[in-house]
Amino acid sequence: MGLLSPRQTGLGSYGCPLPDRIENAGGGPFVGNLSFYQFNMIVSGACTAIVLFLTLGLMGRHAMRMSNPKEQIKIMRIVNMIPSYQVLSFISICVPNSYIYLQGVTEVFQAIALYAFLMLLCDFLAPTDQGKVEFFSSLETKRQWQPKKKRNGLVFLSLTWWSVLQYPIITWIAAVAQVVTQLLHRYCLGSTAPHFAHVWITAATSLSTSVAINAIIQFYTNMKGYMKEHHPLTKLLAFKLIVGLVILEKILFLILEGVNVLHRNEILTYVDVMMGLPEMIICVQMVPLCFLVLYAYRTKPYEISNAPRTVALRPQEYQAVESDGDKDTLMSGFQKRYQGGWMGLNAWAAYLNPLGLLLDVISAHRMISKARALQKAQM
């Protein structure tokens, strides 16, 4: 009923309960003469326009007011998770057959944002690699499962870094595997049978997500006292609400489908229930969450009064200082200049360059490896 197009009346390949090509047709009037599918596209489209306007505006302001590239490029990668979620969800609503192919991509954007968030917290603690080595070398942290025992700070940093880094790697592999298995008719979104890839890919990404988020929470718990002036709790809350709500809703919909509370009827098609409604909720809830992100990652701490927006001749090292109320300030030993270039084009180029993220990962790996090797040599 509404799930299959007129030309597709059978099941999918290899016994999958979903057809190989999913289309949303049928369904009775939901509001006036509009079906739920049409109503969903209108509401989700309006929410998508609002979210894109707000988030791209915030990213654009960071690009044009880029006084601290190391931190602000990471902030742009974090904020990018919202418009990415929004656009991919809206496309999945409009073109249901794309849903399976795009779900893995949303996880990749989420994983990149989580890694950028960890690196941003590290920059808050110490802006340079040498500073990070010195800071974590002198630090001892509690073990998660054995609070009475201590762990060296560099070991803690290395463990956290690897725990978070595996997330974008696993999700990227899972996204590719999801597309390939779907093309081979071996994914099957509507089945948890072990001979289909859906259950295994879901289990792998769920485990990877749990490990990464747990590592971030442990890192924040141990480090929050060293970066109060950066308001890390607000930034963590903005990030966690987005990820947490999406995960919670996925679990809730699985339960509701399992107990047959959600099912197709005269108004809702199977596609509406399984894909349209969950994606619509994501699109709508991103609007209020945008405002929390706008506040948590605002540009005010990076703004420089009366500074020409030109490219600096050499990198600047900024150090955060205690703020009085909302008067966040930054100080530097060099002349302060915005480094995003005309209209922030240089900043956008650096943000969009995939090699930039890869080089950041390589640099962090070298820094941690050298620090641990030096520490072992001294011991």
pLDDT digits (tens, 9 = 90+) for 69-112: 888 999 999 999 999 989 999 998 988 888 888 888 988 999 99
In this structure, is residue 240 part of a structural domain?
yes
Q: Is residue 96 assigned to a domain?
A: yes
203 in any annotated domain: yes
Across the chain, mean pLDDT equals 80
Q: pLDDT-derived band of residue 6, with 50, 70 and 90 as boundaries? A: very low
User: Do residues 123 and 71 make contact, with C-beta atoms less than 8 angstroms apart?
Assistant: yes
**Which pLDDT does position 142 carry in this prediction?**
74
Structural tokens at position 8 = 């597709």
243, two tokens: 């990820």
Q: Is the pLDDT of residue 332 over 70?
A: no
Q: Considering the domain boundaries, does residue 14 fall inside one?
A: no
Please state the rounded mean pLDDT for residues 10-16: 67
Residue 45: predicted pLDDT: 94
Residues 6+ apart with CB under 8 A from 58: 79, 293, 294, 297, 298, 299
Is residue 57 in a domain?
yes
- Is there a domain that residue 23 lies in? no
pTM: 0.82
Above 70 in pLDDT, residue 174? yes
φ, ψ of residue 356 to 5 degrees: the values are -60, -45
Residue 112 is predicted with a pLDDT of 92
Round to whole Å and give the CA distance between 9 and 16: 13
Is position 18 within any domain?
Answer: no
Residue reference for tokens 């944002």: 113
Identify the pLDDT of residue 334.
Answer: 37
Q: Sorting pLDDT into bands at 50, 70 and 90, what band is 53? A: very high
Mean pLDDT of 173-200: 87
Full domain range(s) for residue 340: 31-378
What's the confidence (pLDDT) of residue 215?
92
Pick the residue with more confidence: 191 or 64?
A: 64
Distance CA(152)–CA(86), nearest Å, equals 41
Confidence of residue 60 (pLDDT cuts 50, 70, 90): very high
- Let me know if residue 295 belongs to a domain: yes
**Would you state the structure tokens that stand for residue 1, as one six-digit string?**
């009923």
* Contact residues for 197 (Cβ-Cβ < 8 A; gap 6+): 177, 178, 181, 186, 187, 188
**DSSP assignments along 211-262, one per residue:** HHHHHHHHHHHHHGGG-GGG-HHHHHHHHHHHHHHHHHHHHHHHHHHHTTSS
pLDDT, residue 66, reads 87
Q: How far is the C-alpha of 158 from the C-alpha of 147, rounded, in Å? A: 19
pLDDT (mean) for 267-285: 86
Task: For residue 271, give the CATH number of its domain.
Answer: 1.20.1070
Domain count, the chain: 1
- pLDDT at position 83 is 92
Higher pLDDT, 250 or 215: 215
How many percent of the chain have pLDDT more than 70? 84
Q: What is the mean pLDDT of residues 114-133?
A: 88
For tokens 């080089």, the residue is 359
The answer to which of 112-126, 222-236, 303-317, 327-341 has the lowest mean pLDDT is 303-317
Q: What are phi and psi of 218, to 5 degrees?
A: -65, -40
